[in-house]
Amino acid sequence: MLCIHTIVMLVPLLVSSVLAEPAQAQEPASQPSLWPEVEPSGQAVLTGAVPHGYALGVGDQVKVEVYGEQDLCGAYQVYEGGFINYPLVGKVQVQGLTLPRVAELLTLQLAERFLVDPHVTVHIDRYSSQPIQVLGAVDKPGVFYLEGHTTVRQILAMAGGIVSEKSVKEVRVERQVGGRRDVMVVKLDRLLADGENDIVLEAGDVVNVVEGMVVYVSGEVKETGAVAFWDGLTVTQALAEAGGPGTYAKLREAYVLRDGARIVFNLKRVLQGRDEDLLLEAGDQLIIEESMF
């Protein structure tokens, strides 16, 4: 049981504790502001998966939405001179600006003269300002546009992928640096395996997927022409790439032309597994003539 002296000693401590609690409650934890330059009367919002660091350029198109204001919503192209024509506001310079900054500018101008507490949303509608040229052994060579942080692997996917990974050894990225043209070489096997040496592209880069060495298949086959060469390529594999022998193929006397010399072999026995398959070299010509009977 507590004595009177102990109770008297505790009372000041309890009073001090009760009085201290309201003082702590009056200090709310400070929250970092996403838009530190926007006035309290407006709110700017960035949507989509576009990196915040993407800088707009001539040809790009942005989509602007203002909550509850249908007449202020729409897609707006960045014209030559670096501006968009926005309703009520007029010309707004956006070239070189990021999407958050454009949202801030529109919010400030709308809040200052036209709307109370505008809620502005801005995102990319079309990329067209930072071209990249993709050449060589891809499915869809041509001009593509950077979409923020874009790497060699990503631009190859946009180009439909490499036509034949077996015949391609490297990808070359050409970049204008000052008055000179630099070339960066990326080994394809390392790039596809773990993304090693994946280069972040810049506007104006030229990505060239260098097609590798080939062998040529001609004569009585389904599809004559070049076949991608890779280490370990054999006669039967090259023949399969050419669609196989034709109906009238002279299998017993097929041959390979190599450096002007003729290497004759019995393709029928090879296909039956009775003779060893012949290893090919880059530049070889596999020829299967038509049988006369």
122 plus 154 within the same structural domain? no
Mean pLDDT of the chain: 82
pLDDT at residue 37 tops 60: no
Q: Do 54 and 124 touch, CB atoms closer than 8 A?
A: yes
Residue 9 domain-assigned (yes or no): no
Q: Which of 78, 182, 204, 198 is nearest to 130 (CA)?
A: 204
Last residue of a domain, one of 126, 147, 174: 126
pLDDT digits (tens, 9 = 90+) for 239-289: 999 999 988 899 999 999 998 899 999 999 999 999 999 999 988 999 999
* Last residue of one domain, picked from the residues 162, 182, 211: 211
pLDDT score of 20 more than 60: no
Q: What is the CATH number of the domain that holds 95?
A: 3.30.1950.10
Asked if the structure places residue 226 within a domain, the reply is yes
Residues 103 and 147 in one domain: no
Per-residue pLDDT at 52: 52
The span from the first CA to the last CA of the chain, in angstroms, equals 122
- Does 137 lie in the same domain as 106? no
Say what the alpha-carbon torsion angle 246, 247, 252, 256 is, to the nearest 10 degrees: -10
Hey, is 265 helix, strand or coil? strand
CATH of the domain at 253: 3.10.560.10
For residues 51 and 122, membership in a common domain is answered with yes
Which of 30, 32, 50 lies closest to 103 in space, CA to CA?
Answer: 50
Task: Name the burial class of residue 138, with classes exposed (0-12), middle (13-18) and buried (19+) by CB atoms within 10 angstroms of its CB.
Answer: buried
Of the candidates 126, 142, 176, which is a domain's last residue?
126
Q: Report yes or no on 26 lying in a domain.
A: no
Domain assignment present for residue 118? The answer is yes
Residue 132 to residue 198: CA distance in whole angstroms: 16
Number of folded domains in the chain? 3
Residue 16 belongs to a domain: no
- Residues of the chain above pLDDT 70, percent: 81
Report, as an integer, the average pLDDT of 154-182: 86
**Pair 218, 207 in one domain:** no
- Other residues' Cβ atoms within 10 Å of the Cβ of residue 21: 9
- Model confidence at 38: pLDDT above 50: no
Q: Which residue has the tokens 């594999």?
A: 237
Q: What is the pLDDT at residue 6?
A: 42
- Domain check: are 201 and 221 in the same one? no
Distance separating alpha carbons of residues 7 and 52, to the nearest angstrom? 62
Encode pLDDT of 139-157 as tens digits: 899 999 998 889 999 999 9
Token duo for residue 272: 């039956």
Instruction: Identify whether 100 is part of a domain.
Output: yes
pLDDT in tens, 98-148: 999 999 999 999 999 899 999 999 999 999 999 999 998 888 999 999 988
Helix (H) or strand (E) holding 231: none
If asked whether residues 144 and 200 sit together in one domain, one would say yes
Do residues 170 and 230 both lie within one domain? no
pLDDT in tens, 221-250: 998 888 888 889 999 999 999 999 988 899
In a domain, 5, yes or no: no
CB 108 within 8 A of CB 38: yes
SS3 call for 166: coil
pLDDT digits (tens, 9 = 90+) for 40-52: 334 444 333 445 5
Stretch 29-45: mean pLDDT: 34
Same structural domain, 74 and 101? yes
| pLDDT (0 to 100) of residue 234 | 95
Tell me which of 195 and 38 has the higher pLDDT. Answer: 195
Two structure tokens written together for 76: 């707006």
How far apart are the C-alpha atoms of 200 and 151, rounded to whole Å? Answer: 4
Find the domain containing 106 and state its range.
43-126
Are 224 and 207 within one domain?
no
Are 209 and 135 in contact by the 8 Å Cβ rule? The answer is yes
Q: Are residues 145 and 93 in the same domain?
A: no
Residue 31 lies in a domain: no
